Amino acid sequence: MRYPRYVLLLVLLMSTLFSQAQLLGRITVKAGQYARHNTIIRVALPQFHIQLMSAELLNVEGGKKIVTPVQMEGEHTIVWRLEGDLPAGAERVYELWSKKDYDRVAKVTVRTTNTAYIVEKDNKPVLQYNYAVMEPPAGVDTAFRRSGFIHPAYTPSGKVLTNIHPKDHYHHFGIWNPWTDTKFENDTVDFWNLKKLSGTVRFSQPARTMNGKVFGGFLVTQQHVVLSKPEKTAMVEFLEVLAYDGKDKEQVWDYNSRLRCAGKSPITLLEYRYGGGFAIRGAGEWNNENSAVLTSEGKTRKDADNTHARWFKIAGALNGGKGGLLVLSAPDNFNSPQPVRIWPEKDQNGQVFAMFSPTKDREWVLTPGNEYPQKYRVITFDGDLTTAQAEAYYNDYAFPPECTFSK
C-alpha cells in the first residue's frame, strides 16, 4: 500500500520530534508549612536509561509551560531554583523532558589560575579557594604558611568579606576549618595553631570543577597532616563548594565537608572552645563600632559566645557601603544546633571572628571506615538582611519543599 507523500513527511517529522524530546515524568513541589522564595530544589530521580545531560524542565502554571533552568548533579539528581514565590501550603508542577540538544551556556563558572580556583557568577567573583601555599608577610615566621582556604569571599557587588594573616592572629585564613585539640595515636595534635608545628591542613589533589547554568564550583581533597618525623596524614577531607545562580540580590553558596580517617587509626576531636566546623575571620575594616553579629537565638557579640545557634549573621561597613554574610548550619550536623565561638566586643580591638565549633562542649570520635559530613550554606549580601529573611533562608535549607516524581 502506497501512502501520499505528505503522510510520509508527517511521520518523518513526528519521529524526529520524539527522537529529540521525551517526557520523562512530572515533579510536584509542595511548599509545606513555609512560604518559599527562589528556593534551591534537589530531586533524586529514578534511574533512567536516557542521558539526562540535556534535560529540560517546564514549569506548568496557569495553562502555560515556562522553561526553567535545570542542571544535573551526579547521575540521577537534578537541581533548579524555584523561581518567584510559592505560598505555604501551595504546590507547583513541573514537566521533565529529555532533549538531544545541550544548552552549554554556563552562568556559574570556575576559573583556574596558578594558585587558586576562582568561582564566578556572570564573570564576577564569588569566592577564591587558594590551593597553592600562601606565604606569610615578609619577616613573619614561615610556620604560618598554608594552603587550602577561601579568601577573598565577596559580597554580590564585590566587597571583600574576609581577612588573612592579621597581625593579631597570623594563623587566621579567611574561611577555613582546622581542628585545634585532637588525639591521634596517643599524641595530642593541633592543626589550628600553626606556630606549634604540631599539625596543618594542606590542599592535596587537583579539583574537579563544575560549570553550569544553575550552579558551579569545585570538589577538592585536603589532608590534615601531623608534623611528626616522618609526617603522617590523620584525616582526609573532601571539600565541595557550590555557588548558585539566581535572581535574588544575595549570593548563595554551599560549603560541604566530608571527613575520613586516613588510615587504620581513629582520631578524637577533643572538647575545645574553637576548631573545625566553619570559621571566618571578618574583613579587616570591621570593628565593634561599624559591624554587628547576630545569631538565630537573638544573641549578639555581648552574649553569643558559648551558646548554640542554627545560623549567625555578620554585617558591617565595607568599602564605603555595607555588606555581610549569613552562615547556616545544617540540622543533621554533629552536635546540632552547633555551638558558636564569637569574639566578644572588646576582644582584639573589636575585630570580627565567628565560627561554628562542633566540639566546643563535647568530643567527637572518628573511626576508620566511616565518613563524617559537615554542611553549611553561606548567603552573602550588600546592605543587610532582616531576621525574617535569615529565618526564611534557614527554613529553605533545613526543611526543603517535598518533591514527588510521577510518570
Burial letters 219-254, b for 16+ CB under 10 A, else e: bbbbbbbbbeeeebebbbbbbbbbbbbbeeebbbbb
The overall average pLDDT reported for the chain is: 93
User: Can you give the pLDDT at residue 13?
Assistant: 41
Do 382 and 269 form a contact (C-beta atoms < 8 A)? no
Is the per-residue pLDDT at 9 higher than 70? no
User: Can you give the pLDDT at residue 21?
Assistant: 74
CATH fold match for the domains 5-103 and 108-402: no
Is the per-residue pLDDT at 206 higher than 50? yes
Is the per-residue pLDDT at 407 higher than 90? no
Cell of 389: 529573611
Average pLDDT over residues 201-217: 95
Q: What angle do CA 354, 303, 286 make, to 5 degrees?
A: 40
Could you give the CA distance from residue 121 to residue 243 in angstroms, rounded to a whole number? 8
Q: For residue 143, what are the contacts with CB-CB under 8 A and spacing of at least 6?
A: 194, 195, 197
Nearest in space to 292 (alpha carbons), one of 357, 387, 376: 387
Cell of 253: 553558596
Average pLDDT over residues 341-360: 96
Residue 381 dihedral angles phi and psi, to the nearest 5°: -155, 155
Tell me which CATH code domain 108-402 carries.
2.70.98
Nearest in space to 257 (alpha carbons), one of 209, 221, 225, 216: 221
Every domain of the chain and the residues it spans: 5-103, 108-402
Is the per-residue pLDDT at 14 higher than 70? no
Q: Which helix (H) or strand (E) holds 99?
A: strand 91-99
Do 148 and 203 form a contact (C-beta atoms < 8 A)? yes
Is the per-residue pLDDT at 104 higher than 80? no
Q: Which of 25-39, 91-105, 142-156 has the lowest mean pLDDT?
A: 91-105
Is the per-residue pLDDT at 1 higher than 70? no
Name the pLDDT band for 102 (thresholds 50, 70, 90): low
Average pLDDT over residues 9-21: 46
Q: In sequence order, which ranges of 57-161 are alpha helices (DSSP H)?
A: none
Q: Would you tell me which CATH number, out of the four given (2.40.128, 2.60.40, 2.40.400, 2.40.50), belongs to the domain 5-103?
A: 2.60.40
Average pLDDT over residues 12-19: 42
Is the per-residue pLDDT at 8 higher than 50? no
